[in-house]
Amino acid sequence: MRRLRAAAAFVAAAVVLAGLAGCAGTSAQPKAAASHPPVIGGVGVEMFQRPWTSIGAECGSTLGPAGFSWVLTSPPQEHITGSQWWTSYQPVSYAVDSKLGTEEQFADMVTACKAAGVRVVADAVINHMTAQGAGTGFAGTAFTKYAYPGLYTPKDFHHCALTPDGSIQDYTSRAQVQTCELVGLADLDTGSAHVRTTIAGYLKHLLGLGVAGFRIDAAKHMAAKDVAAIVKLLPAGTPVISEVIRGSGEAVQPEEYTRIGQVFEFQYARELGPQLKAGVLMDPTRIDEVPSKDAAVFVDNHDTERGDASVTYRDGSLYLMANALMLADDYGTPVIYSGYAFSDPDAGAPQGPDGRVIGWDCAGTTAPKATYADGEGVCTEAWKSIAGMIEWRTAAASAPREPGVSQGAAYGFERKGKAVIAANPGSKPETLSVPTSLKDGAYCDVIADGPSMKGCAGGATVLVSDGMARFELDAGQTAAIHIGAEPHN
């Protein structure tokens, strides 16, 4: 015994000595766990191609009352002219003057949103400038593809010689992805100190106007160390969400960027959407997804609704279902998407003769519509089911997600002791009992009636008895109850 103790003391002394040696810098010391980069958190909404005046009004009338924490705007900087929405993604200067509004309107929006408890996250297009040989930008700035007055000259760009036309062709080549041109867009040399400080200057200007953080557009196309170096020039604690579309077999993967902030995890919608379309919901696998704290998730965004999204505003109740299931989930920071209807994927939001987007409000919208006219706002943020699910999510808080149960096409799960959701993506009615530890009684359906802390506005209820929440679901119906949503007697 004594001997053993002596041996243990010797080992302890050796550890202390090794530690001291570490302090002297001669050997590696265990480092304190790196703190997680700042996360914006709560529920966000991407308000695509919405003018600043519209967003400012919507913050007070809809986003704040519904409980959204933040709104993601389209890019605010000067861009090439044209009717297409994607002109916003070809910066000409960093003047905050665009088809979506002036700098003054932008600042007013931030003020209005802050007053409503909603933070503003701006889409930062910093990988590239334009793809045009020459032109004049929306705010009157004359430019050529590799020269932007007061900002960049040709030496500030990568001029990639890896492909015949300098455009990215092969996503398995890191060098191509990060130093060639994304669809022909002049690619900034983000390794250069001048480019980094110029970009950071723009982002700091937006922070000065009150924005809370950034979406980093096309982050995949900048080395993670370049993005990190730019973010490091911003005040500590600035949250960013990098757009790094996960692609199997590609050279650049989202995991490289999670030390800088969150990433948009595209895999989430790729798993959920097809299940809804097939009418077979199951528990998530989380295969090929970053850890929850690193993920911003969405059902669709402005690219995927024009691309490979399985479920979009065109799917009505299934789209609502997808968003409700995402809000009910215990994975990632959810981002609702709100754009406008379109037939032509290039078509911009309706513009006035001055080229400014006219904008829209969502007064009178409470649910998905069966059809939309081209250019009409979808107004997802105004659906009472979304506000109801934000309330549900708050009630669920950190309660774990219990395994799901199915009956026919119907599927449901509990967030332990706090909230239950059930959805029927099938084509015929289903009855589903979901195990729950909520106490017996009738609970308001926050999908049918919206937030219910003050009682069931529309009278739709779900009964809980004997440890089961008993759902009667029509084809395409979603229903959700939570611990705070009991009808007033």
Residue 77 to residues 130, 229, 235, 337, 449, Cα–Cα distance (Å)? 12, 21, 21, 21, 39
Is residue 313 within 8 Å of 341, Cβ to Cβ? Answer: yes
Least spacing, CB of residue 477 vs ligand ARE, in Å: 33
- Residue listed under structure tokens 């390794």: 191
Residue 303 makes contact with ligand ARE by CB under 6 A: yes
Residue 6 makes contact with ligand ARE by CB under 6 A: no
Specify the residue, 304 or 433, whose C-beta has the smaller distance to ligand ARE: 304
- Residue listed under structure tokens 């910066």: 91
Specify the residue, 195 or 422, whose C-beta has the smaller distance to ligand ARE: 195
Map the footprint of Ca ion across residues 127-156, applying CB under 5 A: 127
CB atoms within 10 A of CB 3: 7
Buried-state track 23-39, b at ≥16 Cβ within 10 A, e below 16: eeeeeeeeeeeeeebbb
Instruction: Identify the three-state secondary structure at position 463.
Output: strand
Beta-carbon contacts of residue 331 (< 8 Å; ≥ 6 apart): 268, 284, 286, 289, 292, 295, 297
Least spacing, CB of residue 132 vs ligand ARE, in Å: 7
Residue 187 makes contact with Ca ion by CB under 5 A: yes
Using the contact rule CB under 6 A, the part of the chain among 14-22, 141-149, 179-187, 360-368 near ligand ARE is: 179-187
Residue 414 contact partner, candidates ligand ARE, Ca ion, none, CB within 5 to 8 A by sort of partner: none
Specify the residue, 88 or 127, whose C-beta has the smaller distance to Ca ion: 127
Residue 294 makes contact with Ca ion by CB under 5 A: no
Residue 218 contact partner, candidates ligand ARE, Ca ion, none, CB within 5 to 8 A by sort of partner: ligand ARE
Specify the residue, 127 or 130, whose C-beta has the smaller distance to Ca ion: 127
Of 110, 218, 240, 290, the one binding ligand ARE by CB under 6 A:
218
Residue 217 makes contact with ligand ARE by CB under 6 A: yes
In the bound state, the residue with its beta carbon closest to Ca ion is: 221
Using the contact rule CB under 5 A, the part of the chain among 165-173, 216-224, 319-327, 452-460 near Ca ion is: 216-224
Give the DSSP H/E element, type plus range, for residue 262: strand 262-264
Residue 247 makes contact with ligand ARE by CB under 6 A: yes
Specify the residue, 252 or 336, whose C-beta has the smaller distance to Ca ion: 252
Is residue 482 within 8 Å of 391, Cβ to Cβ? Answer: yes
Beta-carbon contacts of residue 2 (< 8 Å; ≥ 6 apart): none
Of 145, 221, 246, 418, the one binding Ca ion by CB under 5 A:
221
**Structure tokens that stand for 226 in this block:** 């370049």
Q: What's the number of CA atoms in the CB half-sphere (13 Å) around residue 441?
A: 15
Specify the residue, 177 or 395, whose C-beta has the smaller distance to ligand ARE: 177
Q: What's the number of CA atoms in the CB half-sphere (13 Å) around residue 115?
A: 13
Residue 224 makes contact with ligand ARE by CB under 6 A: no
What single-letter DSSP state applies at residue 432?
E
Residue 402 to residues 219, 299, 321, 442, 475, Cα–Cα distance (Å)? 35, 22, 19, 21, 24
Of 46, 58, 243, 305, the one binding ligand ARE by CB under 6 A:
243
Map the footprint of ligand ARE across residues 100-139, applying CB under 6 A: 125, 131
Residue 196 makes contact with Ca ion by CB under 5 A: no
Catalogue the active-site residues.
Answer: 217, 243
Residue 187 contact partner, candidates Ca ion, ligand ARE, none, CB within 5 to 8 A by sort of partner: Ca ion
Residue 459 to residues 163, 172, 423, Cα–Cα distance (Å)? 63, 55, 19
Of 13, 15, 20, 183, the one binding ligand ARE by CB under 6 A:
183
Specify the residue, 243 or 265, whose C-beta has the smaller distance to ligand ARE: 243
**Structure tokens that stand for 463 in this block:** 């009964």
Helix axes 193-208, 224-232, angle to 10 degrees: 50
Which residues contribute to the site for Ca ion (CB under 5 A)? 127, 187, 221
Which residues contribute to the site for ligand ARE (CB under 6 A)? 86, 89-90, 125, 131, 171, 182-185, 217-218, 220, 243, 245, 247, 250, 302-303
